[in-house]
Each structure stands twice: as structure tokens, then as C-alpha cells.
Amino acid sequence: MPDFSARLIAWQRQHGRHDLPWQNTRDPYRIWLSEIMLQQTQVSTVIPYYAKFLARFPDVAALAAAPSDDVMALWAGLGYYTRARNLHRCAQVVVERHGGAFPASVDELAELPGIGRSTAAAIASFAFGARATILDGNVKRVLARVFGVEGFPGEKKVENAMWTLAESLLPSNASNAEVSGYTQGLMDLGATLCVRGKPDCARCPFAPDCVANVTGRQRELPTARPKKAVPTRRTWMLVLRDGNAVMLERRPPSGIWGGLWSLPEAADEASLAERARAFGSDGEVSALAPFSHVFTHFKLDIEPRLAAFDRGVGALAALNDADTAWVALDDLDSFGVPAPVRKLLTSLHGSLI
């Protein structure tokens, strides 16, 4: 399809999205921030986080200078927390090694923490008019359908073929504005017309040439991810409570909820009771309602236990240090707390006292 890019650019100009919060700017900082947040995350989810970050950290220098805990607290709830740590590191690298200005080339961008090939292309095309293709979920879906690309796009072989195809479709001599429109068009087509469930082929500029549309295979393309059973893990969480405050513990930097503040955990009931005693609680440990939380790759059954504590007569364990903190339930916002733990504590806040 020799006129793929021209058709896409024309479609985007007329029917694409033009008023998202991170559009209508060439500020690499704002574009970068949005692109990181939008990785594996829907637009509607990102919008309030993007606004919060921009208000608190108006430029890359402000973000670089912030304490890591502040960045994590602001990111809490968005998920994939490695993104937040890389975001912070990236800001510091840009300030310390690039004089506070994002590099303009795809290759240099892709060397920065948290910026891979697709995000680098997005930033380079939106901020600098570079001729580089993205390859996100939207593009994979559009390419699979329009060109009839078979196979699960998460598979390396298929993904490589799609990168090659996507590169070949780039507009050859386009202005900066056209390059931005092309990249945005790829996303918009996938996000608004060529959606997973019921694609609106009637309004699609590629309908007459689209393999999936012509053959009625919209449902089979792109090829679905192979099904895998999700294992279940189980954990006991300690709600050590002193009046309106609970004790939180810093999680290790990597692994699930890496770098967030969460409730102390144990692998079984007895171990949790022992931890409660070690912290200095001499009261009873009582069961709260169990619940489960589903991640992408496993299900977590959570057994919360409540124990009373009195810091007034408590021991050294009552003191805050780098990895433990007593937090008022009204003040959870200033700590990066995992979403389900936050929900648990918030519901407790309503029912206690």
C-alpha cells in the first residue's frame, strides 16, 4: 500500500485526537512524561496522574531534584513501579549528563532508563519531528489486520516482522507536523477505530484494502496471546495499629510493588503473629476479611490480620527508620502504597473508631 502514510496523515488530521493533555506541545519533558505513563496504561487512567506530576514537577530539573519517595508516592496506583524509578533516574541523567535537555535522536533517547525502542520513536517524532516508527499495542493490532500479519505479536519473530513492516510504512518526505500526525494517527486509529472488540471498519480509511476486513477476520487478527494458567500465591499482612496510625514497611527495590510502602508480611499465620510480637505488640491478633488481588501473572490471596500497639509504652520498634514508618490513615497519600493495600487501609479507616 504505497499511500499508507498519506492516507493515515489525512485521516488523523480530520478524525484523530487533537486535545489530549500531552498534545499541542513540543516540550520533550511533557511528551516523555506522558509516554512513560502511557506504557501499558490506558489514556483515561493516565490523565489525572499526568496532571499531578506536571503540577508538582513542572520540568525535568524539578523531577530530578525530588526525593525518590515523593516520586513513588505520586506514582502509586499507576502500576509497573519500575517505570517510576526509571522515570526518576532518567530525569537525573538528563540533568547531569545532557545539561537538562533531552537528546533529539532515537538512539540516544533509547539509551535512557525506561525508554525503549517504541517510546524513543514516539518522543523523537512528537518532540523533534524525527522519522521513526513506534510499535505499540495499537500499531500491532492495525498492522496485523490491515496487512494480515499472522502470529502472536508478543512473539519475537512476529514482532521483528512488524518492526520491519512499520519502518517501511513511514512517510518518506514529511514535514515535522506530518511526522507527528503520522505517529499520532497510528495510535488514534488503533485506539478509536481499530479496537479489539468491535472495530468500526465503516469509518476506516484502509477498509477496502484491509485483509481482516475483506476476509471478515477482524476477530482472529491479531492472533491472541497463548493462554497460560495464573498461579496463586498467599500472603499474610499485618495491620499494626496505634489509634489512627498503622505501621508500613518499605518493600525491596525490585519485585512486585518494588520500592513502595506496604504492610509487613509473612508467609503464614504463625510467622505473622511472631512478627507482631517482635514489633512490640502484646495484644491479640485478629482476622480481617480476606481478599484477593489479581496481577498479570499471578493471583495473590491476602489474609489481613489486625494487632493493637501502643507507641506510648512501646519499644524501639516504634521508632521510624529508613524502612519502617508509622503513618496516619489520613496521610496515606504522602506514601507510595500499593492499590489493594491502600483500599484495605481506607476501608479500615471508615470502620475503625
Partner DNA sequence: CAAACGTGGCT
Partner DNA sequence: TAGCCAAGTTT
Q: Under the rule (CB under 7 A), what is the footprint of DNA?
A: 17, 20, 22-23, 34-35, 38-45, 76-82, 86, 113-120, 122, 136-138, 141, 155-156, 187-188, 190-191, 196-198, 224-225, 227, 254-258, 293-297, 338-340
Output 146 or 307, the one with its CB closest to DNA: 146
Residue 187's alpha-carbon distances to 12, 25, 128, 261, in angstroms, are 10, 17, 18, 35
Compute the distance between CA of residue 211 and CA of residue 333 in angstroms, rounded to an integer: 49
Biggest distance spanned by C-alpha atoms of the chain: 77
**C-alpha closest to that of 127 among 103, 108, 110, 107:** 103
Output 256 or 325, the one with its CB closest to DNA: 256
Classified as helix, coil or strand, 333 is helix
DSSP 97-165: HSTTS--SSHHHHHTSTT--HHHHHHHHHHHH--------HHHHHHHHHHTT--S-TTSHHHHHHHHHH
Output 14 or 172, the one with its CB closest to DNA: 14
Amino acid at 297: H
Output 174 or 221, the one with its CB closest to DNA: 221
DSSP annotation of 220 reads T
Output 172 or 297, the one with its CB closest to DNA: 297
Cβ atoms of residues 24 and 32 within 8 Å: no
CB of 268 to DNA, least distance (A): 20
Between the two ends of the chain, the Cα-to-Cα distance in Å is 67
Cα radius of gyration rounded to whole Å, the chain = 24
Distant-in-sequence, close-in-space partners of 156: CB < 8 Å, separation ≥ 6: none
| 35 carries an active-site annotation | yes
CB of 32 to DNA, least distance (A): 11
CB of 234 to DNA, least distance (A): 15
CB of 75 to DNA, least distance (A): 9
Compute the distance between CA of residue 312 and CA of residue 19 in angstroms, rounded to an integer: 54
CB of 336 to DNA, least distance (A): 9
CB of 175 to DNA, least distance (A): 20
Output 219 or 277, the one with its CB closest to DNA: 219
- φ/ψ of residue 265, rounded to 5: -125, 160
Catalytic residue among 35, 96, 284, 303: 35
CB of 312 to DNA, least distance (A): 33
Cβ atoms of residues 144 and 153 within 8 Å: yes
Output 256 or 317, the one with its CB closest to DNA: 256
Residue 149's alpha-carbon distances to 7, 166, 185, 191, 218, in angstroms, are 20, 12, 20, 19, 12
Q: Tell me the catalytic residues.
A: 35
